[in-house]
Amino acid sequence: MKTVLVTGGLGFIGSHTTVELLARGYRVLVADNLANTRREVLDGIASIAGIRPTWANVDLADPVACRSFLAGHPDLAGIIHFAAHKAVGESVQKPLAYYRNNFGSLLNLLEFTAEHPRCGLIFSSSCTVYGQADQLPVCEDAPIKPAESPYGNTKQVGEEILRDVAKAHGFRAIALRYFNPIGAHPSAKIGELPLGVPQNLVPFITQSAAGLRAGLKVFGNDYATRDGTAVRDYIHVVDVALAHIDALERLFAGKGSEAVEVFNLGTGTGSTVLEVIAAFERATGKKLQWDFAPRRPGDVVAAYADTNKAAAELGWRAERSLDQCMADAWRWQQTLPGR
């Protein structure tokens, strides 16, 4: 039975991926220092999977702590690296914390894979590396635009670091560029747990519908899109999780020729903010109160994925609809105590 390390495994995408790995019979080791989640997520994972993964509360950005932690697991078959700070706006306020944490943890993990080249690594990247793409849907070989935030820069430079180290040390890696992961596990036992005021649209919508948050704003209604509001590729978090299993098993099977391969994880369909709101109301029967507000600095007009490479090489496509995302997100929100 292969052992897979999931860093940030108690986080939003990490927890959903851990559930799918356990369902496939992998032994899962979760490393998470609870910087942006709660330990109760482990109970949710165990409740769904029927197995409680081993959890290590370790700061992977601490080279000594990370090295001694990994020294206890020389047999790791693969690492899926989610653990990172990921709030775009916060990264502009705290660039040092973002670079120290996101690059530090990546470098410490790469020290291990350099010494254990049979252990492959899956890296959480993001569609933010494209900025405002010149062509949509955006392909993996689209030009990388200058990062709009330190967060986006940690993804762009993270991919470059990955490429340099994997080539030099002969291990394989895959970077997965997420579009907009949303929703929750259909069991409503795990889901998104934004701490504080949600920066992202869907958790703000669900907290607004739950009466926990007032003042849902639609940022910008003068974009050159079908209804004037910005377009994104919203993808169910379970679809994103399943793509990680396919990517990991591609590495295990030794498929692919490049040291580092890159894949978009999106549905290939763009939805406007107003269409997301309409989907939520349709899926839940809840009416949302919202107002237009000025555009949010740093937002791109539109982003949605070309999904052909992931379909052809990973054999993976997103299967869940926007309405299902909304229904699952709402069911999860209703389990949360008023925060």
| Positions marked catalytic | 151
Number of Cα atoms under 13 Å in the Cβ half of residue 48: 23
- Rounded to a whole number of angstroms, the distance between the first and last alpha carbons of the chain is 40
C-beta closer to ligand WQD: residue 47 or 132: 132
C-beta closer to ligand WQD: residue 26 or 204: 204
Alpha-helical segments (H) within the chain: 12-23, 40-49, 63-71, 88-93, 95-115, 150-169, 201-209, 237-252, 273-284, 308-309, 322-333
C-beta closer to ligand WQD: residue 76 or 182: 182
Residue with tokens 């559930």: 19
Residue 263 corresponds to which tokens in the numbers above? 């894949």
Number of Cα atoms under 13 Å in the Cβ half of residue 314: 26
Residue 286 corresponds to which tokens in the numbers above? 């809840």
Instruction: Give least dist CB 200 to ligand WQD, A.
Output: 3
Instruction: Give least dist CB 271 to ligand WQD, A.
Output: 9
C-beta closer to ligand WQD: residue 98 or 204: 204
Residue 244 corresponds to which tokens in the numbers above? 């990680």
Between CA 188 and CA 333 the distance in angstroms is: 8
C-beta closer to ligand WQD: residue 51 or 142: 142
Instruction: Give least dist CB 50 to ligand WQD, A.
Output: 29
Instruction: Give least dist CB 313 to ligand WQD, A.
Output: 22
Which of the 8 DSSP states describes residue 262? E
Among 260, 22, 285, 302, which Cα is nearest to 135's?
302
Binding footprint of ligand WQD on the chain (CB under 6 A): 86, 88, 126, 128, 178, 180, 199-201, 204, 217-219, 230, 232, 273, 296, 299
68 in Cβ contact with 56 (< 8 Å): no
Between CA 186 and CA 205 the distance in angstroms is: 18
User: Strand pairing partners for 55?
Assistant: 30
C-beta closer to ligand WQD: residue 273 or 305: 273
Which of the 8 DSSP states describes residue 316? -
64 in Cβ contact with 39 (< 8 Å): no
Instruction: Give least dist CB 217 to ligand WQD, A.
Output: 5
Instruction: Give least dist CB 299 to ligand WQD, A.
Output: 5
Between CA 46 and CA 56 the distance in angstroms is: 15
Between CA 159 and CA 157 the distance in angstroms is: 5
Instruction: Give least dist CB 301 to ligand WQD, A.
Output: 9
C-beta closer to ligand WQD: residue 88 or 279: 88
295 in Cβ contact with 219 (< 8 Å): yes
The SS3 call for residue 188 is: coil
Among 318, 321, 313, 319, which Cα is nearest to 263's?
313
